[in-house]
A and B are shown apart, each in its own frame.
Chain A
Amino acid sequence: MAEAANFKAIGTRPIRPDGVEKVTGRANFGADLNLPDMLHGKVLRSPHAHARIKRIDLTKAQAMDGVYAAISSADFPQEVTSSLSKNILARDKVLYHGHALAAVAARTPRIAEEALDRIEVEYEVLLPVLTLDDAMQENATLVCEDLRTNDDESSPPSNIAASQRFERGNVTKGFAEADVIVQEEFRVPSAHQGYIEPHACVATSNPGGRVTIWCTTQGPFEVRSATAGVLKKTVSDIKVIPSEIGGGFGGKTVVYLEPVAVRLSELTGKPVKMVMNREEVFRATGPASATLCKIKVGAKKDGRVTAATAWLAYEAGAFPGSPVGPGCMSVFAPYDINNFLVEGYDVLVNKPKVAAYRAPGAPQSMHAMECAIDELAQKLDMDPIDLRLKNAAKEGTIAPYGPKFPPIGLVECLEAAKQHPNYVRKPSEEVGRGVAVGFWFNIGMQSSAEVNIAEDGAVSIMEGSPDIGGSRASMCLMAAETLGVPYETINAHVGDTESTGFCNLTGGSRTTFATGLAVVKACEDVIAQCKARAAMTWELDVEQVDWKDGQAVPKPGVNIDVEPLSLADIAKTMSRTGGPLLGRASLNAQGAGACFSVNWTDVTIDRETGKVDVKAFTAIQDAGRAIHPAYVEGQMQGGAVQGLGWALNEEYIYDENGIVENASFLDYRVPVASDMPMIDCEIVEVPNPSHPYGVRGVGETPIVAPLAATSNAVRDLLGFRINDLPLSPPNVLAAIDAAD
């Protein structure tokens, strides 16, 4: 458990520095910027799931009053043939209902929309491929005619873009040793990230070729490189200024509008604003992969798992690149299993190209494994937590995906769960309970930070991680702890691509860990400079000066009688001691530290309607160290409710032609306040040795376990399992009727 730590700032719950702006409506999000002489861009999207584009005629749109430009993929560099470029504007084929194929810029959004109606497109409608089963058949209709599995030129074209396989030990022998075996198939539907703020940007290009983009994004530097790639520009031609971001969850790590807006600005010489509506967000961005996962697990009578296999197929959408890789790597990650085999397939279908969604790939594969483990517990008549404890990975376990685990907190979370009053209190007869564990790898990657000290000693942090959930507060807390100054004297700012050092995106649960590490090191740089200034003032060697509680002091034993110099004291005189105090750090952070969780859901079921109600939900998670515990809880609660939505209701509904039938928040129903109970949280702290304060990323793990925890709760109550999600009223009712 957490070592005794005597922190002053870390672990407190102050108000975030950008809070007042956000509760008063002052904070500027993606769609809030308007520039003088600005035009409005709109995108024409495919009405078909799969069709050849025989002709696009833009002339009538271009001729409209108020229209300044109309473009198609022909107006982009043809030598760029990346999936990204073909997703932004279709080339020869449209590959999903909603695929962009033309765009216009006009004086008003209304005129731009009217102009879209004047674009003439001649399609040759093709048969769409809509399911994993259809797409993986031999002789399937091909989404991409020249795609071959793993780029193997000797194999015939296929919708299977990639396959992978890894194993350990001998599964045949392992299953032979098993006393019980569970073998099941599970389907999870596509879910959308569902951020409340649609994609939005403003782009302006000057005649010298310099481009500025304001946009809502998780990664301004990634927007810069992606836009440069599609437009064959150099990154230094492009400046990206991130707005406040209204949710992303992985879905704002890719670009859709920005290169189009830049091209329209280049052609018109005016700033161009583009904002998606909600239907476009559903039809053309995100979602997470729909999956089919086949799991087989064998165990001895005492619960020890002897072998496990996983066969995982993930929809990639219309272009390669589903998160089946992390799906494969995470499926058995919580367990110490000697014999396993994992196979994964990345499969093209005529649906939008999938995007990262919070722990991308893990919720689906781990739903399957955690349901299978629950079945095992049923067969063995073991408590589901005891069964997991019996097999839990711990420090020193070789993770199924290769490395040896450093200190991790799975066992600690399981032990905390067993003792938790919500677990000890057994559910009543009309309530079902299901347990599952969650996991995410977390990443480090590159971050930079500058810490500027004003002449009054106030601290200003400049970094490059868009603040998606309170990260500015975490940065300020770590700076307060390191410098030894009050939190209230510190502010944190998210810079643009030319005002701060390179920084990878806010994703992979990396911000508090990696950018936080850069902030701590930049503060240490400031401290080193302050010690040098104090040494100069006191005519001592710098080695004779300490930094303690926010002040420079002579080291014990140094024979000098001086008052300590605070950061404010040193700042006041900095012009005379060497000029401005500016700390810097840049790094490629290693050792992100995996994050584990244990969740349980308590549900009731209305047997007349099939409606599952969540009566209680408890989340226990290892945060390494919770810098701002309220925002750690916030990640746990928000991820839990996203996972519950995926388990209970969320899915894309397509007709037989591949037309999305529920592209609105009315018909794609995310949880609302009245659907949910309070989400009880317990933070476990097993410090990450690769961070000075022990931080692990906490953002993604929370969405993983709720899917299986809810499935297992429904299983507990009904007495039989419904393998496929969502556990929506019609699906649950059909299962109840079939069982009667």
Chain B
Amino acid sequence: MSKIYVSTTVNGRPEDVLCEAHQTLLDLLRDEIGLTGTKEGCGTGDCGACTVLLDDRLVCSCLVLAPEAHGKEITTVEGIADSQDGLHVVQQKLLEHAALQCGVCTPGFVVAAKALLDKDPNPNEETIRYWLAGNLCRCTGYDKIIRAVQDAAQELTPTK
């Protein structure tokens, strides 16, 4: 089968990859580029472990075909922490609140929560819960994740 040329930007750097037509964006990231931070929990868009940003849109990368990423900008969990400034506030607050147990859903939550705060820096609890409803966590019961995101929002935009 002939391969398809896919030219993308991943976490700010150009990545040119040859893909097969059936491969997903998740396959491209994990198997072709070696970015295994994005996890596969279901392959059917139900768990959110593979959440990435595609041109600033939150997507399940298991539901996007790799060739669809051509010409697009992708942000994965590996692109959230800044090499100069260290962890993003969402990552820091998840750690401080002990908001991860096994940690396999965490990359998806990091990407999704950062996207929320970029869009709405001061979300209420209900907004956070509905925004993150596409990300399954089986360990924490969500309580500490929600509190961590609330705390991150507070740090980004302290109430006057």
Do A and B pair up? The answer is yes
Interface residues of A (CB under 8 A from B): 13, 15-16, 18-20, 22-29, 31-32, 34, 110, 193-198, 244-249, 275, 277-278, 468-470, 628, 630-631, 633-634, 637-642, 664-666, 670-676, 678-679
User: Given contacts A195-B138, A664-B46, are A673 and B87 in contact (CB under 8 A)?
Assistant: no
Establish whether residues A670 and B136, one from each chain, have CB atoms under 8 Å apart when the complex forms.
yes
User: Given contacts A23-B87, A666-B46, are A196 and B36 in contact (CB under 8 A)?
Assistant: no
User: Given contacts A23-B95, A665-B42, A673-B135, are A196 and B140 in contact (CB under 8 A)?
Assistant: no
In whole Å, how far is B11's beta carbon from the nearest beta carbon of chain A? Answer: 11
User: Given contacts A469-B101, A672-B133, A673-B128, are A24 and B43 in contact (CB under 8 A)?
Assistant: no
Establish whether residues B44 and A666, one from each chain, have CB atoms under 8 Å apart when the complex forms.
yes
Q: Does B145 contact A (CB under 8 A)?
A: yes
Establish whether residues A247 and B98, one from each chain, have CB atoms under 8 Å apart when the complex forms.
no
Q: Does B41 contact A (CB under 8 A)?
A: yes
CB pairs A–B below 8 angstroms (16 shown): A22-B106, A23-B106, A24-B77, A25-B107, A195-B138, A196-B104, A197-B39, A198-B41, A244-B103, A247-B102, A278-B41, A468-B101, A638-B101, A641-B142, A674-B130, A675-B133
- Please give, as numbers and ranges, the residues of chain A lying within 8 Å of B142 by CB-CB distance: 637, 641, 671-673, 676
Q: Does B158 contact A (CB under 8 A)?
A: no
Establish whether residues B141 and A679, one from each chain, have CB atoms under 8 Å apart when the complex forms.
yes
- Please give, as numbers and ranges, the residues of chain B lying within 8 Å of A639 by CB-CB distance: 141
User: Given contacts A24-B81, A277-B43, A665-B44, are A631 and B128 in contact (CB under 8 A)?
Assistant: no
In whole Å, how far is A648's beta carbon from the nearest beta carbon of chain B? Answer: 14
- Please give, as numbers and ranges, the residues of chain A lying within 8 Å of B81 by CB-CB distance: 23-24
Establish whether residues B98 and A665, one from each chain, have CB atoms under 8 Å apart when the complex forms.
no
Establish whether residues A249 and B80, one from each chain, have CB atoms under 8 Å apart when the complex forms.
no
- Please give, as numbers and ranges, the residues of chain B lying within 8 Å of A671 by CB-CB distance: 141-142
In whole Å, how far is A280's beta carbon from the nearest beta carbon of chain B? Answer: 11
CA distance A197 to B41 in the complex (A): 5
Q: Can you add 13 more A-B contacts, CB < 8 Å, to A470-B101, A628-B98?
A: A15-B95, A18-B103, A23-B100, A23-B103, A26-B78, A275-B40, A278-B47, A468-B102, A630-B144, A631-B101, A664-B46, A672-B135, A675-B133
Binary contact track B73-88/A, C-beta < 8 Å → 1, others 0 = 0001110110000010
Q: Which of B18-74 contact A (CB under 8 A)?
A: 20, 22, 30-31, 35-44, 46-47, 49
In whole Å, how far is B81's beta carbon from the nearest beta carbon of chain A? Answer: 5
Chain B residue at minimum C-beta to C-beta distance from A192: B138
Which residue of A29, A110, A634 is within 8 Å of B139 (Cβ)?
A634
Interface residues of B (CB under 8 A from A): 20, 22, 30-31, 35-44, 46-47, 49, 76-78, 80-81, 87, 91, 94-98, 100-107, 110, 126, 128-130, 132-147
Establish whether residues A278 and B104, one from each chain, have CB atoms under 8 Å apart when the complex forms.
no
Establish whether residues B139 and A26, one from each chain, have CB atoms under 8 Å apart when the complex forms.
no
User: Given contacts A25-B77, A196-B104, A638-B140, are A16 and B133 in contact (CB under 8 A)?
Assistant: no
- Please give, as numbers and ranges, the residues of chain B lying within 8 Å of A196 by CB-CB distance: 39, 41, 47, 49, 102, 104-105, 136-138
In whole Å, how far is A640's beta carbon from the nearest beta carbon of chain B? Answer: 6
Which residue of A24, A193, A198, A634 is within 8 Å of B98 (Cβ)?
A634
CA distance A164 to B87 in the complex (A): 55
- Please give, as numbers and ranges, the residues of chain B lying within 8 Å of A15 by CB-CB distance: 95-96
CA distance A18 to B104 in the complex (A): 13
User: Given contacts A23-B87, A24-B87, A246-B103, are A638 and B138 in contact (CB under 8 A)?
Assistant: yes
Q: Give the interface SS of chain B, mostly helix, strand, loop or mixed.
A: loop
CA distance A640 to B138 in the complex (A): 11
Establish whether residues B102 and A28, one from each chain, have CB atoms under 8 Å apart when the complex forms.
no
Which residue of A16, A24, A193, A245 is within 8 Å of B37 (Cβ)?
A24
CA distance A734 to B49 in the complex (A): 35
User: Given contacts A196-B41, A678-B143, are A110 and B100 in contact (CB under 8 A)?
Assistant: no
Establish whether residues B43 and A278, one from each chain, have CB atoms under 8 Å apart when the complex forms.
yes
Q: Which 7 A-B pairs have the closest CB atoms?
A: A25-B37, A246-B104, A641-B141, A22-B103, A630-B98, A637-B141, A665-B46
Establish whether residues B94 and A13, one from each chain, have CB atoms under 8 Å apart when the complex forms.
no
Establish whether residues A22 and B100, one from each chain, have CB atoms under 8 Å apart when the complex forms.
yes
Establish whether residues A247 and B104, one from each chain, have CB atoms under 8 Å apart when the complex forms.
yes
In whole Å, how far is A671's beta carbon from the nearest beta carbon of chain B? Answer: 8
- Please give, as numbers and ranges, the residues of chain B lying within 8 Å of A18 by CB-CB distance: 103
CA distance A28 to B102 in the complex (A): 12
Which residue of B43, B104, B106, B146 is within 8 Å of A678 (Cβ)?
B146
Which of A666, A671, A672, A679: most chain B CB closer than 10 A?
Answer: A672
Establish whether residues B95 and A19, one from each chain, have CB atoms under 8 Å apart when the complex forms.
yes
- Please give, as numbers and ranges, the residues of chain B lying within 8 Å of A665 by CB-CB distance: 41-42, 44, 46-47, 136
Establish whether residues A110 and B20, one from each chain, have CB atoms under 8 Å apart when the complex forms.
yes
Chain B residue at minimum C-beta to C-beta distance from A33: B36
CA distance A28 to B37 in the complex (A): 8
Chain B residue at minimum C-beta to C-beta distance from A23: B91
CA distance A15 to B40 in the complex (A): 26
- Please give, as numbers and ranges, the residues of chain A lying within 8 Å of B140 by CB-CB distance: 634, 637-638, 641
CA distance A469 to B100 in the complex (A): 7
- Please give, as numbers and ranges, the residues of chain B lying within 8 Å of A193 by CB-CB distance: 138
In whole Å, how far is B113's beta carbon from the nearest beta carbon of chain A? Answer: 11
Establish whether residues A25 and B38, one from each chain, have CB atoms under 8 Å apart when the complex forms.
yes
Establish whether residues B80 and A24, one from each chain, have CB atoms under 8 Å apart when the complex forms.
yes
In whole Å, how far is B27's beta carbon from the nearest beta carbon of chain A? Answer: 9
- Please give, as numbers and ranges, the residues of chain B lying within 8 Å of A197 by CB-CB distance: 39, 41, 102, 104
Establish whether residues B138 and A23, one from each chain, have CB atoms under 8 Å apart when the complex forms.
no
User: Given contacts A278-B42, A642-B138, are A674 and B133 in contact (CB under 8 A)?
Assistant: yes
Establish whether residues B42 and A664, one from each chain, have CB atoms under 8 Å apart when the complex forms.
yes
Establish whether residues B39 and A246, one from each chain, have CB atoms under 8 Å apart when the complex forms.
yes
- Please give, as numbers and ranges, the residues of chain A lying within 8 Å of B30 by CB-CB distance: 32
Establish whether residues B139 and A638, one from each chain, have CB atoms under 8 Å apart when the complex forms.
yes
CA distance A664 to B107 in the complex (A): 21
CA distance A195 to B128 in the complex (A): 23
- Please give, as numbers and ranges, the residues of chain B lying within 8 Å of A34 by CB-CB distance: 31
CA distance A630 to B104 in the complex (A): 19
